[in-house]
Amino acid sequence: MSPNKYSVILGNLGNTCDRFLPTGYKDPITTADKLEMAASIPGISGIELVGGWDITPDNVREINEAMAAHELACVSIIPDLFSKRVWGNGSFCSRDATVRREALDEANQAAEIAESIDCPLVNLWLGQDGYDYPLQADFSRQRGWMVDGIHTVVARWPRLRFALEYKSKEPRNRSFQARAADTLLMAQEIGLPNVGVCIDVGHAFVAGENVAESAWLLHHYGQKLFHLHYNDNYTQWDDDMIVGSVHLVTYVELQYWLRQIGYQGWHSMDLYPYREDGARAVGESVGFLRDLEQALTPERMAEIQKLIATGDATASTRWMREFVFGRHRADELTNGQHVTGARRNASR
């Protein structure tokens, strides 16, 4: 199997801001500086750009030349359908037909840029397409507008792939594309071969999903896993932390199943290092995934396959302990527990 391809959303390397300090905790840096930083991170060979933030019709040539100079591939273009006031009540799901047309224009502009620089993917995160209160959403009409709008864009650009990125909440309390399964259903309803789904691993955690199962699900029902975003969190919020900092075991299972389904797409970092050095946070994330990639040798993969075949939770837990601490240390711990138990029983 060929090595994984790692990329980063360019904004991860800049001054990420939160709602308590809109100016951010770091000094702003230029797009050129962020590209240079991305190229310096071991393992990174691709970037994602946000339309209107990083790349516009006016600077396409300049940005494309800078990417080429740093030997960075453009992995995807993300149209800005989430950070403008006009999208406050939805983009593709807006009740205002004029706003829906503007959403079409925004997505088509991102697609035009992508095609002009041989970028293969447009990633659609429709963060404002949802609702906040009961008795507020018109599920039938608004979901219908989303399907129609996305279909219109995707059909216009048959040489591009479009990934629908789901998230259960934020900025809206409820999102129409909230989970892997309902987003897959919408992709299937759109009915075009070049529309699929992006799993943001942190979004899957917040949605209460087993992300490995979500990856399998999207592959099984039409090979619709088009893209992956990586980060970590405590499952209550989209914290966008360093990959593997919380969910070590979960990431092992995810990587196993990505190999099983033959995922060949990009593994893209999507962090929000508010206070941490962006390049170092991304570097640690990629380092974790590359180390895990190397550690999952064919022999280890075969061991996991046997564990799954038996379904023995104690055996799989022991395997993970050996995987993390080494077989010798795991034997010491297990033997020590057995001795303690034997002494306890003998004293009774």
Label residues 285-321 b or e (16+ Cβ within 10 Å = b): bbbbbbebbeebeeeeeebbeebeeeeeeeebebbbe
* CATH class of the region 5-296: alpha beta
CA distance 51 to 107: 9
Q: What is the pLDDT of residue 332?
A: 60
Q: pLDDT tens, 117-168? A: 999 999 999 999 999 999 999 999 999 999 999 999 999 999 999 999 999 9
User: If pLDDT is split at 50, 70 and 90, which confidence band does 328 have?
Assistant: low
E strand intervals along the chain: 5-9, 44-50, 73-78, 121-125, 130-131, 161-165, 174-175, 195-200, 225-230, 266-269
Q: What is the pLDDT of residue 2?
A: 75
pTM value is: 0.93
Least Cα distance to 78 among 27, 121, 26 occurs for: 121
Q: What is the pLDDT of residue 204?
A: 98
Q: What is the pLDDT of residue 327?
A: 74
Q: What is the pLDDT of residue 257?
A: 98
Q: Does residue 335 carry a pLDDT above 80?
A: no
Q: What is the pLDDT of residue 343?
A: 46
Q: What is the pLDDT of residue 248?
A: 96
Lowest mean pLDDT across 16-25, 102-111, 306-315: 16-25
Q: Does residue 266 carry a pLDDT above 90?
A: yes
Secondary structure (DSSP) of 117-134: TT--EEEEE-TTSEESST
User: If pLDDT is split at 50, 70 and 90, which confidence band does 319 have?
Assistant: very high
Q: What percent of the chain has a predicted confidence (pLDDT) above 90?
A: 91
Q: What is the pLDDT of residue 342?
A: 46
Give the residue-averaged pLDDT of 15-26: 91
User: If pLDDT is split at 50, 70 and 90, which confidence band does 19 have?
Assistant: confident
Name the residue with tokens 């359908």.
81
* Residue 21: CB atoms within 10 Å: 9
Q: Quick one: 152 exposed, middle or buried, by C-beta within 10 A (0-12, 13-18, 19+)? A: middle
The three-class DSSP label of residue 50 is strand
The overall average pLDDT reported for the chain is: 94
Residue-range domain boundaries for the chain: 5-296, 306-346
Q: What percent of the chain has a predicted confidence (pLDDT) above 70?
A: 94
Q: pLDDT tens, 268-297? A: 999 999 999 999 999 999 999 999 999 999
CA 49 from chain center: how many Å? 14
Q: What is the pLDDT of residue 331?
A: 63
Residue 31: HSE in the Cβ half-sphere, 13 Å Cα cutoff:
19
Least Cα distance to 114 among 106, 122, 126 occurs for: 122
Q: Does residue 213 carry a pLDDT above 50?
A: yes
Residue 26: HSE in the Cβ half-sphere, 13 Å Cα cutoff:
18
Q: Does the N-terminal peptide bond of residue 193 adopt cis geometry, omega within 30 degrees of 0?
A: no
Q: Does residue 82 carry a pLDDT above 50?
A: yes
